Structure 1
Amino acid sequence: MVYVKLFLAFLKIGAFSFGGGYAMLPLIEQEIVYINNWLSAYEFVDIIAISQMSPGPIAINAATFVGFKHLDVLGAVVATIGVVLVSFLLVTSLAQILLKYYKSPVVNGVFTGLRPAVIGLMAAACVSLFRTSVEDFKSLIICIAVLVIIHKTRTHPILIILLSGIMGIVVYTI
């Protein structure tokens, strides 16, 4: 029964989230932290951080990590299948139709309406992650430093992650 609940939670996430992993974050957080209480808000942020550092889409990585943490390897498999199943079925069954009618005003209208919604979902995820991750003035400085570095330079994200980890060690342990 627990596996069915895990599968259905991630099936819902995969079915009702458009715009990729970042747009899925508010729904993932709602299901994982608030509805099912599988993770705390802090654990959720940690899972997102780990998902960001791992290769692959963030939603799939998050599902795999949550499933593994909650129910070990089988939980990881169940959650991962749940989050990708609807997208897989839609893409494989609708690809030809979508390509054929991509220029139609109706399809164009749907995508034009979805784009700003996706940005709104991503912004909501940023606000939620900010509230949980920026706990004090030190973490605010790290956040602002990363934002400025990424905005002003072409520094590789892996280097940013490594430097942020080092800054965390220096600021919080020394």
Structure 2
Amino acid sequence: MIFVNLFVTFFFIGLFGFGGGYGMLSLIQGEVVHHWHWMTTSEFTDIVAISQMTPGPIGINSATYCGFTAVHNAGYGYSMSVVGSALATFALMLPSIILMILISRLFIKYMNTQAVQSVFAGLRPAVVGLLGAATLLLMTRENFSSPDENPWQFWISVALFAATFIGTKILKINPIRMILYSAVAGLVLLY
């Protein structure tokens, strides 16, 4: 039964996940953590971190790791977890494949019409909202702690967040380098 739920869940995420992988993160978290309880928030945060570091789109990588983790946490073995991983990935990509096949010819023919331009103008704010929601959903106690529980971890986490933002946005440091710098700083300062 988990395989059917996994397929349907990721199919609908792929169908309604506008804005790319980062826009899908809040949808994925809402389904796999809060709705189905296939994993904890901490596990999902680890999945997002791994998905960002591995090659490929973050949405596809997240689906792959979530499928594996969901089936593994349900008590199935390694081989069935790999099937769950492949199933979630395929289900996430399937709506895009179907839609691209169906609308590619129509889009080329009508892409300069006012109706199509209006649709894209309406989707832009929704994409920004989904990206903002993904950011806010990752700002949890598991990631930052709290000033009451562990002030050292909280302020170091906030400092790393600010340094990474400034490094990538203002100083234009390569994001991969910033990930590596943050990983080293996290290991040195938090443990």
Contact 1:47 1:66 survives alignment (8 Å) = yes
Match for residue 171 of structure 1? 189
Whole-angstrom CA distance in 1 between matches of 2:103 and 2:22: 23
Q: Could you tell me which residue of structure 1 aligns to residue 48 of structure 2?
A: 48
Secondary structure class of the residue paired with 1:55: coil
Which residue in the other structure is 1:145 paired with?
A: 163
Superposed, which structure 2 residues align to 1:152-167 within 5 Å?
Answer: 152-167=170-185
Q: CA deviation at 1:157?
A: 1.3
**CA distances 1:78-100 after superposition (whole Å, capped 9, x unpaired):** 10011110011101221111111
Unaligned runs of 5+ residues in structure 1 are: none
Q: Is the 8 A contact 1:149 1:155 kept in 2?
A: yes
Counterpart of 1:16 in structure 2 is 16
Counterpart-to-counterpart distance in 2, 1:156 and 1:145: 13
Aligned: 1:82 with 2:91: yes
Q: Tell me if 1:134 matches 2:144.
A: yes
TM-score after normalising by structure 2: 0.87
| Matched residue SS, 2:139 | helix
Partner Cα separation in structure 1 for residue 107 and residue 16 of structure 2: 18
Identity of aligned residues (%): 41
Would you say the 8 A contact 1:10–1:82 is kept in 2?
yes
The aligned counterpart of 2:38 is 38
The CA deviation at 1:46 is 1.0
How many Å separate the matches in 2 of 1:126 and 1:157?
16
How many corresponding residue pairs?
173
The CA deviation at 1:16 is 1.0
Deviation at 1:104, TM superposition (A): 0.9
Return the alpha-carbon distance in structure 2 between the equivalents of residues 91 and 134 of structure 1.
40
Inter-partner Cα distance in structure 2 for 1:142 and 1:105: 45
| In structure 2, C-alpha distance between the alignment counterparts of 1:98 and 1:130, rounded to whole Å | 38
Are 1:134 and 1:143, in contact at CA under 8 Å, matched by a contact in 2?
Answer: no
AA aligned to 1:95 is S
* Comparing 46-55 and 128-137, the one that deviates more: 128-137
Give the SS at the match of 2:85: helix
TM-score (norm: length of structure 1):
0.96
In the TM superposition, what is the alpha-carbon distance from 1:131 to its structure 2 partner? 2.6
Superposition deviation, residue 114 in structure 1? 0.1
State the AA in 1 paired with 2:41.
A
Superposition deviation, residue 25 in structure 1: 1.3
